[in-house]
């Protein structure tokens, strides 16, 4: 038994003696100690678990975290629960998802690099498979073993082959987009070599989508269907609601496109200031917080022509609509759970999977004029008029200026290891929470903590072996003591977190952050920041604090050794970068987005969508 579990049991035992504990918590402790008793037919039910992921949703987007975007349903979870302000993911989609579902570091679980960007010197190495490898156990697999129904809807991005899909990795029911992104309206994907998005439903590859398909709506409809189909059999459920929204392209039904007309014409600096003000009022950040500098390649909006500001502002209007539409469908799920009497017995965990997206993915996928991808984009993504934004065939992304707004008050964005790439908003609500409703917590939390936390909630624990194979150790810490109000952080002052992606490196310990990033976002050297005083990472203390720097670099070395980190060879790229003037980075990875071939499912595993 882990020390966290032991601590949690001691805490609950104390509460039991004081008569403060609920039957649900008793059941939880009971199962930790004596599973055979707590799983008996007359035992109180364990809570349902709903994990809601926003794809590229920023730290400062939800109303409860200072956004002007209207998110009443997500905010209601925040007001009934706790908001965590020091929660970390990884810098991009599949690495975060791999840790969420395995509890194991990316360099061990197969996502040492994103599949799309695996460098030549990483190919074929253990931990760099580009999909969630079979050496790890998955959260749904273990929860299913503990008596939970396991459902998934939305984006998977962790492998497409039959043995890698959600059904094969522990989900009893699923409706999944296997790709990292794509159209919200149909199966159009991004490149000439991989023109069609791949979907599965209950382990079968779909030949087409439902007639009234719109991603966010359909995912929600399907999940409600899964829940209803098995209601009343006494088992709790785990639902992984892995929304595609608000990832670009911003595809929206018409009535969701015009909810903020003209509101963003004032420009990104003003909106960032307004968000910071609200964040201070809400207590999300300290009163003396300074905004990160506007990134050097983002223009001062007041110097732009009004028409330019209006067009750029409209991109943000579309993004805000995406978030509000997501919130609406989250509201439909909440309402449904209330109607069927399950809301009170459901734990909700809500967060964005990485920093907001500042790279223009469309530019990346379309390539240069004359290429096959350019032709593909011209044919399939040709609805470029602002009035068509949101329609099938349109491609809108809001760019680095608005990504920095979404990540107020931090620097950088998705793909990079500044706080704007990896810090996100986290909401936890539900029956296991013993902290004041609507309160805030600044403990150091990490997405890999979900595995031990939710296993504990389900009354089970992480096994040493699975099917005779030894499992890699968990990197996360259970939130049990934090949720029970017995601790402020799952981590001690000595515990540290570390990241590596695309060759960029970072470590966080206590209030300190070590970072080494490639040009142009970094300077190629180790940089040191004190996040308690400087969450915007404005002042590099590496030269002023050599001892601290040395200690932090030693942590990095420890991390790299323990997890077999192999930095991608970027020699060609670095030579080029030094010859070119500083410019807006159009692709965080190296080598640039590789040409992915269309995945063709085995014929005997295809199906039409269920009604």
Give the interface with Ca ion as residue ranges (CB under 5 A).
55-56, 93, 353-354
Q: CA-CA distance, 258 to 278, in Å (whole number)?
A: 24
Distance CA 514, CA 507 (A): 5
Supply the minimum distance, in Å, between the C-beta of residue 514 and Ca ion: 24
Joined together, the tokens standing for residue 492 give 């001690």
What span, in angstroms and rounded, lies between the C-alpha atoms of 586 and 606? Answer: 37
The CA–CA distances, whole Å, from 529 to 515, 519, 545, 546 equal: 8, 18, 10, 12
Q: Which residue has the tokens 């609805």?
A: 383
Least distance (Å) between residue 410 CB and Ca ion? 16
User: Cα(44)–Cα(586) distance, rounded to whole angstroms?
Assistant: 53
CA distance 55 to 97: 10
- What torsion do the CA atoms of 342, 245, 537, 529 make, to the nearest 10 degrees? 50
Its sign, for the CA torsion 585, 589, 592, 597, is negative
Residues 543/477, Cβ–Cβ less than 8 Å: no
Is 319 within 8 Å of 250 (Cβ atoms)? yes
Tell me the closest approach of the beta carbon of residue 97 to Ca ion, in angstroms.
8
Q: Where are the beta strands (DSSP E) in 185-340?
A: 188-191, 194-196, 199-201, 204-206, 237-242
Tell me if 125 sits within 8 A of 135, measured CB to CB: no
CB of 45 to Ca ion, least distance (A): 33
Give the nearest distance from C-beta 96 to Ca ion in angstroms.
7
CB 513 within 8 A of CB 531: yes
Q: Could you tell me if 50 and 347 are in contact, meaning their C-beta atoms sit under 8 angstroms apart? A: yes
Record the tokens describing residue 340, joined without a space.
Answer: 């069927």
- Asked if residue 461 lies in contact with residue 375, where contact means CB atoms within 8 angstroms, the answer is no
Closest separation in Å from C-beta 158 to Ca ion: 13
* Residue 418 C-beta: closest distance to Ca ion, Å: 16
Measured at CB, which residue is nearest to Ca ion? 93
- The span from the CA of 479 to the CA of 445, in Å, is 8
Give whichever of 327 and 353 is closer to Ca ion, judged by the CB atom. Answer: 353
Question: Shortest approach of Ca ion to residue 55 CB, angstroms?
Answer: 4
Compute the distance between CA of residue 77 and CA of residue 81 in angstroms, rounded to an integer: 6
Helices (H), 178-241: 215-229
Catalytic residues: 93, 157
Residue 245 token pair: 């929204």
Q: Which two structure tokens, joined as six digits, stand for 41?
A: 């037919």
**The dihedral of CA 263, 269, 273, 278: what is its sign?**
positive
Q: How far is the CB of 598 from Ca ion (least distance, A)?
A: 22
Kindly state the smallest distance separating residue 537's Cβ from Ca ion, in Å: 21
Pairing assessment for the beta strands 188-191 and 194-196 based on DSSP bridges:
antiparallel
Other beta carbons within 10 angstroms of residue 63's beta carbon come to 18
8-state DSSP, 371:
S
């Amino acid at each position: 038994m882990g020390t966290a579990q032991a601590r949690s049991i001691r805490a609950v035992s104390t509460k039991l003696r004081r008569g403060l504990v609920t039957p649900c918590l008793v059941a939880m402790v009971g199962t930790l100690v004596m599973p055979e008793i707590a799983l008996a037919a007359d035992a109180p039910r364990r809570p349902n678990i709903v994990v809601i992921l926003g794809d590229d949703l920023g730290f400062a987007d939800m109303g409860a975290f200072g956004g002007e975007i209207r998110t009443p349903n997500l905010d209601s979870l925040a007001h009934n629960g706790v908001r965590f302000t020091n929660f970390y993911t990884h810098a991009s989609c599949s690495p975060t998802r791999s840790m969420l579902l395995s509890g194991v570091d990316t360099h061990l679980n197969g996502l040492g690099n994103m599949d799309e960007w695996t460098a030549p010197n990483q190919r074929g190495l253990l931990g760099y498979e580009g999909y969630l490898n079979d050496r790890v156990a998955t959260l749904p697999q273990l929860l299913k073993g503990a008596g939970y129904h396991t459902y998934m809807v939305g984006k998977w991005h962790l492998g497409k082959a039959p043995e890698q899909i959600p059904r094969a990795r522990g989900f009893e029911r699923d409706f999944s987009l296997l790709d990292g992104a794509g159209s919200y309206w149909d199966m159009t994907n991004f490149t000439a070599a991989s023109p069609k998005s791949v979907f599965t439903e209950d382990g079968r590859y779909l030949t087409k989508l439902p007639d009234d398909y719109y991603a966010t709506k359909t995912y929600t409809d399907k999940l409600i269907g899964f829940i209803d189909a098995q209601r009343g059999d006494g088992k709790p459920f785990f639902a992984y609601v892995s929304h595609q929204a608000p990832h670009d392209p911003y595809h929206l039904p018409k009535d969701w496109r015009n909810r903020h007309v003209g509101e963003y014409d004032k420009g990104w600096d003003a909106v960032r200031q307004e968000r910071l003000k609200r964040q201070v009022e809400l207590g999300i950040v300290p009163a003396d917080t300074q905004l990160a500098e506007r990134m050097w390649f983002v223009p001062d909006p007041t110097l732009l022509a009004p028409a330019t500001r209006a067009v750029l502002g409209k991109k943000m209007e579309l993004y805000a609509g995406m978030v509000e539409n997501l919130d609406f469908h989250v509201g439909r799920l909440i309402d449904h759970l209330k109607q069927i009497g399950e809301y009170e017995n459901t734990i909700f965990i809500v967060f964005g999977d990485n920093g907001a997206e500042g790279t223009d993915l469309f530019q990346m996928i379309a390539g240069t004029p004359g290429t096959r991808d350019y032709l593909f984009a011209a044919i399939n993504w040709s609805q470029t008029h602002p009035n068509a934004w949101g329609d099938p065939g349109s491609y809108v992304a809001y760019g680095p200026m608005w990504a920095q707004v979404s990540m107020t008050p931090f620097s950088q964005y998705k793909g990079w290891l500044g706080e704007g790439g990896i810090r996100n908003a986290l909401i936890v609500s539900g029956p296991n929470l013993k902290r004041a409703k609507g309160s805030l917590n600044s403990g150091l939390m990490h997405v890999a903590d979900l595995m031990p936390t939710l296993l504990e909630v389900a009354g089970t624990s992480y096994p040493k072996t699975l099917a005779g194979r030894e499992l890699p150790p968990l990197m996360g810490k259970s939130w049990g003591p934090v949720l029970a109000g017995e601790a402020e952080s799952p981590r001690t002052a000595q515990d540290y977190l570390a990241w590596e992606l695309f060759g960029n490196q970072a470590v966080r310990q206590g209030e300190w952050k070590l970072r080494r990033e490639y040009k142009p976002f970094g300077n190629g050297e180790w940089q040191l920041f004190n996040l308690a005083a400087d969450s915007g990472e404005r002042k590099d203390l590496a030269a002023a604090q050599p001892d601290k720097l040395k200690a932090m670099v030693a942590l990095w070395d420890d991390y790299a050794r323990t997890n077999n980190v192999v930095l991608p060879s970027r020699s060609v790229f670095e030579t080029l970068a030094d010859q070119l003037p500083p410019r807006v980075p159009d692709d965080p990875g190296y080598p640039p987005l590789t040409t992915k071939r269309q995945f063709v499912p085995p014929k005997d595993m295809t199906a039409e969508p269920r009604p």
